[in-house]
Chains A and B, each alone.
Chain A
């Protein structure tokens, strides 16, 4: 999976949680809670979905890497073998 594929998969899994109307609002600079209005309660579900989709584990200390879309993608890329 290359970085583009990681980005597309991650954006698809956060889309059900995003509460701004326009999907093009999701950029790598977007903050999940402040910009995309993701319910902070559901943050843990995004983490669990990421673990399932990419077969990685996200420790409690790593959760802050998921505050911004681009940072999350970077984290996932570091944890997975990019091809």
Chain B
């Protein structure tokens, strides 16, 4: 059985593009949430969102005209993140026309894949009787695997190239799935993570479900308020995060720099029973997920120094905290450091777990815990946790961290990371 490490990362987030900019933005508590005129025009209740600053010019320059023309937002985010991740992993950067890399797989998950292509292009053109005008690339842009397929082709990957989808658990689940592939010796490297489009069609469904924050349209950067007494709902966003998971032996054989170790993880469901439903978690499912993740990682609850929570800014936040406390057998006052990256980047849905896992690893590697912004009015039901949730960035040498993600469908994922000091 192989040890699994992270040798590269790539990030496209609403508050930053690129690892260095992301780390600095997280440390400084910079929000990437903005008012979107289009959401107001379409009469959304929530008119703020997190859209990564990837302009068309940037995409054209970085990806070239052919890829630009035949891609959508989730593909572009994934390709940007993949390029950075590959380069960060110290792998040869010239991939165009190169041989196939049979030793690297890719799992790039998503909730809604090419939803922007579907909504902006395929549906109106088809309904207008202009099917012929869809051209050659509509098919590759609408499929759920559009991002993984584009990354696989861009980098010439010959391992399994696939897409997982488990709602907001997706990104963390991709990392856990990649962990098992490498741990069991099936492949040396997996580019693992997820990508989510910035699309009003996705966000409309959440708005209609009335789970979005509708009281902060005039204060976008204060809108995403996990753990706050005045949290009013999630703030939707898009983006991508990719991690290069690699066997330790493969990493060492090529003298790769190691960001962190993946000790393990677990994904499960709560059966949508006993308090669980299509949109709510069964508390026992969360507790079992965390406890099984610790068992796989061979660590004790007392070993956990930091938790990057799912924490969306909804009524589910307090339940999550109580479940984590119960799973670890630690009172709220005794909890590890806890924060919510979503306070700055919003809820990236399928991309959330991977973007937040990268935030987790950056904090472990650089000895800080980023602020959980917008919870200065801490939720009174879990007030004892407040001292463990930084309002400004703190220096902290944490060794072991959990990343938890929970999704619609009552599905859970928990990954365990350890800082690399060998």
Interface residues of A (CB under 8 A from B): 16-17, 41-45, 48
Contacts and interface: CB of A to CB of B under 8 A. Distances in A.
Contacts, number: 18
Which one of B133, B135, B136, B137 has the highest number of Cβ atoms from chain A below 10 Å of its Cβ?
A: B136
Contact of B137 (A16, A43, A45): A45
Contacts of A48: 132-133, 135
A45 B135 contact: yes
B66 interface: yes
Chain B contact residues, majority secondary structure: helix
A44 B136 contact: yes
B40 interface: no
17 contacts: A16-B65, A16-B66, A16-B69, A17-B66, A42-B66, A42-B136, A42-B137, A43-B136, A44-B135, A44-B136, A45-B69, A45-B135, A45-B136, A45-B137, A48-B132, A48-B133, A48-B135
A15 to B, nearest CB: 9
A13 B65 CA distance: 12
B157 to A, nearest CB: 19
A48 to B, nearest CB: 5
A64 to B, nearest CB: 17
B127 to A, nearest CB: 19
Nearest to B139: A41
Interface in B131-158: 132-133, 135-137
B interface, how many residues as a size bin? Answer: under 10
Contacts of B136: 41-45
A42 B137 CA distance: 8
A44 B69 CA distance: 14
Contacts of B132: 48
Which 5 pairs from chain A and chain B are nearest by CB?
A16-B65, A44-B136, A45-B135, A45-B136, A41-B136
A45 B137 CA distance: 9
Which one of B69, B135, B137 has the highest number of Cβ atoms from chain A below 10 Å of its Cβ?
A: B135
Nearest to A15: B65
A42 B135 CA distance: 8
Nearest to B133: A48
Contacts of A41: 136
A53 to B, nearest CB: 14
Given A16-B65, A16-B69, A48-B135, 4 more contacts: A41-B136, A42-B66, A42-B137, A43-B136
Nearest to A48: B135
Nearest to B140: A41
A16 B136 CA distance: 15
A48 B121 CA distance: 15
Interface in B48-93: 65-66, 69
Contacts of A43: 136
Contacts of B137: 42, 45
A1 B69 CA distance: 27
Nearest to B97: A19
A34 B142 CA distance: 29
Interface in B120-135: 132-133, 135
Contacts of A44: 135-136
A78 B56 CA distance: 37
Contacts of A17: 66
B122 to A, nearest CB: 15
A45 B70 CA distance: 10
Nearest to A43: B136
Nearest to B68: A16
Interface string B155-193: 000000000000000000000000000000000000000
Nearest to A60: B132
A44 B66 CA distance: 14
A17 B137 CA distance: 13
A35 to B, nearest CB: 18
